[in-house]
Amino acid sequence: MLFPDDPPRKLVGIARLAASADVLEAKRQVEYLELETRRFLGRGSGRMSEIWTINPYRGCEFGCKYCYARYAHEFMELRDPELFERKIYAKRFERSVFRAEVRRLKHGATIWIGTATDPYQPAERRFKIMRGMLEVLSSERGLDMGITTKSDLVARDADLLAQIARGSRVRVHITVTTLDESLARLIEPRAPRPALRLAAVRRLAEASIPVCVLAHPVMPLINDSERSLDAVCAASAAHGACSFSAAPLFLKPCAQQVFFPFLEQSFPHLVRRYRERFQRNAYLSGHYPEMIAERVKKIRARHKLATREAPEWPLDDQLDLFSAVAPGA
C-alpha cells in the first residue's frame, strides 16, 4: 500500500494463486508452498516460440548471486529478490493433465526443462515432480528434450532418461562455473559442489545420455581466466561430457540487486568496474565477449569437445523461454 488510505490492491493471476498457496513445509528460512497449476508446458517467445518449456518449481533455493530469474517472483508480487530463494513454489503435479498436454504435442516437438529455475533444486528430493514428469515422458516417443541443471540430483533419474532416450532425443546441460569449491560456495551458495556435479556428468554419460557442461556465466576477473575455464573443460571431458560452452555474464536490474552487494562483500576491488560496465547495459559488448568466445573455442578444441547441442540459443534467450510462461503455468 502506498498510503494508508489506498484501497488494497486486487491480486490477479499468478499473484492471487501465490497468495493463497498452502504451505507444504518451512525449512531453515525456506518455505515450500504448493502452486495450483493449470498447465505444465509453457511456450517460448520470439525466436524461441517453437520451444516448449517446463519449470516444475518457482523460485530456486540454490541462490546464485548472478541469477537472472529472480524477477519471476515479481509476477507474484514478491518484490524482495531474496524471497526468490526462500519462498519456493512447487507446482501441484497432476499426472493425467501433464500426460494429456504432452500427447497434444507434435512429433519432434522440442521441450526444454529448467529454463527459469533449477528443476533439481532441493525441493525435488521431497516433491519428485521431475521424476513424475519423466515417468510420463518415458512412455512417449519422438520428442526432442533437454534439461538444464546444476544439481547432481539429475543422476537419480539416469534410468528414466535412458528409457526416454530409446524413443526420443534427450540431452542434459549441467552448469559448472568453476572447480574452485570456495568460489563456487560464494557465488552459488546452496548449489551442489562442483565435484558432485561432475560426478553426475559421469553417471549420465555412463548411461549414454549426452551431457553438455556449461561454464555460464563467465564473470570478468572472477572465473574468466584461461586456466579456470580450461580446468572446467578438462574435467568435463574427463567425466564423459560430449560438449562444453561458456558465455559472459549479463546482469538485469533484478540480478544487480543481489550481485552488487555480493561483489561489495566478496570482491570489493571489482565493484567500480562492474558498476561502470553493467549499470547502463545488462550485457557486455565489444572486445570482452569476443575474447571469451575465442578463448572457449580454443579450450574446447584442446579437449576435443563439441559446442552445446541444439537448440542453439544465446544464454539470454532463456529469458524469452521463461518470460512467456503464462501466469499459473
| Interface residues toward ligand SF4, by CB under 6 A | 60, 62-64, 67, 69, 117-118, 150, 191
CB of 116 to ligand SF4, least distance (A): 7
241: which 3 cell numbers? 561430457
- Cα dihedral across residues 19, 49, 170, 205: positive or negative: negative
What is d(CA 307, CA 216) in angstroms, rounded to the nearest whole number?
13
Taking the complex as a whole, the smallest distance from the CB of residue 87 to ligand SF4 amounts, in Å, to 13
CB of 249 to ligand SF4, least distance (A): 11
Q: Are 177 and 137 in contact (CB under 8 A)?
A: no
Toward ligand SF4, which CB reaches closer, 118 or 224? 118
Least distance from ligand SF4 to the Cβ atom of residue 32, Å: 15
Residue whose CB is less far from ligand SF4, 42 or 63: 63
Q: Which residues pair with 175 in a beta bridge?
A: 214
Task: Give the nearer residue to ligand SF4 in terms of CB position, either 136 or 184.
Answer: 184
Strands 42-43 and 51-54: antiparallel
β pairing state of 57-58 and 87-91: antiparallel
Q: At what angle do helices 129-137 and 95-103 cross, to 10 degrees?
A: 40
Nearest residue (CB) to ligand SF4, 151 versus 228: 151
Cβ closest to ligand SF4, residue 87 vs residue 143: 87
Q: Give least dist CB 57 to ligand SF4, A.
A: 9
* 30-35/57-58 β-pairing: unpaired
Which backbone phi and psi does 180 adopt, to 5 degrees? -75, 110
Q: Which three cell numbers stand for residue 301?
A: 578444441
Q: Which is nearer to ligand SF4, 155 or 237 (CB)?
A: 155
Q: From the CB of 302, what's the least distance to ligand SF4, in Å? A: 27
Q: 329: which 3 cell numbers?
A: 503455468
HSE-up of 183 (CA within 13 Å, CB side)?
14
